[in-house]
């Protein structure tokens, strides 16, 4: 009996050791999971060496979400991998950020020429279609999309392609410098003999905003 009890005690002790080792591994895994994700500076708009209006916005992009981004010691606004800063700006702007608990700090410097405040709103200057166009061939638009060209670079836009009654066609839109590109979506191609409207607003880095409305009519079927 005593021999059997000693054997049982040894087995239970071994099981306790295995259990404790397993718990230790779990703790290590938890530590790994909580490790900070390093954020590296990727680009800025405007880029270093460029110019910015006194009432403009500096946009900073990182490869991972940063923490506590500052410009010249003042806090920037963070949204995912992007941080925005509305000034005041210096000739040499010191950007700093953190990477969460346990992460190292990062920094970079962006040189800017600060110009007078910008009070001029962007305007539509042309593009794939112009306001009032008729007999527009829908086929190339369904392939390449619609481009709206603007008088200056913008940072925000809400353009969408709609029917004449305002129904959203469902195309996607994106900013490309001084352009807004509306990209076709499969299954939502535009048709013939139909009135379409590109409408919404655009805004530059200084916050100057204007409405855009471009109406065009597609041609009849051949």
Tell me what pLDDT residue 160 has.
97
Percent of the chain residues past pLDDT 90, beyond the cut: 77
Q: What is the pTM of this model?
A: 0.66
Interval 150-188: pLDDT, tens: 999 999 999 999 999 999 999 999 999 899 999 999 999
Name the β-bridge partners of 80: none
Task: Please report, to the nearest 10 degrees, the dihedral formed by the alpha carbons of residues 164, 165, 170, 174 taken in order.
Answer: 60
Provide mean pLDDT across the span 88-113: 90
Q: Determine the distance from the C-alpha atom of residue 204 to the mean position of all C-alpha atoms in its chain, rounded to a whole number.
A: 16
What structural domains and CATH numbers belong to the chain?
41-115 (2.60.40.1220), 124-218 (2.60.40.1220)
The 3-class secondary structure across the chain, one letter per residue, is: CHHHHHHHHHHHHHHHHHHHHHHHHHHHHHHHHCCCCCCCEEEEECCCCEEEECCCCEEEEECCCCEEEEECCEECEEECCEEEECCCCCCEEEEEEECCCCCCCEEEEEEEEEECCCCCCCCEEEECCCCCEEEECHHHHHHHCEEEEECCCCCEECCEEEECCCCECCCEEEEECCEEEEECCCCCCCCCCCEEEEEEEEECCCCCEEEEEEEEEECCCC
Provide mean pLDDT across the span 49-65: 94
Residues in the chain: 222
pLDDT reading at 21 higher than 80: no
Tell me what pLDDT residue 221 has.
85
């Amino acid at each position: 009996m005593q021999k059997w009890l000693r054997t049982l005690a040894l087995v239970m002790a071994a099981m306790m050791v295995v259990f404790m080792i397993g718990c230790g591994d779990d703790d290590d895994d938890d530590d790994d999971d909580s490790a900070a994700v390093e954020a590296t500076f990727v680009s800025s708009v405007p880029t270093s060496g460029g110019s910015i209006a006194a009432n403009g916005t500096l946009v900073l992009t990182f490869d991972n979400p940063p923490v506590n981004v500052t410009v010249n010691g003042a806090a920037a606004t963070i949204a995912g991998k992007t941080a925005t800063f509305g000034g005041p700006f210096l000739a040499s702007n010191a950007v700093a950020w953190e990477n969460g608990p346990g992460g190292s700090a990062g920094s970079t410097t962006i040189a800017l020429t600060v110009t007078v405040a910008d009070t001029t709103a962007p305007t539509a200057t042309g593009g794939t279609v112009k306001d009032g166009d008729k007999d527009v061939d829908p086929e190339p638009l369904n392939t390449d999309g619609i481009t709206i060209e603007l008088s200056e670079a913008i940072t925000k836009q809400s353009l969408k392609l709609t029917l004449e009654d305002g129904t959203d066609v469902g195309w996607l839109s994106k900013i490309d410098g001084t352009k807004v590109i509306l990209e076709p979506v499969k299954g939502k191609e535009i048709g013939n003999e139909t009135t379409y409207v590109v409408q919404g607003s655009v805004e530059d880095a200084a916050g100057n905003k204007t409405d855009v409305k471009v109406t065009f009519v597609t041609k009849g079927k051949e």
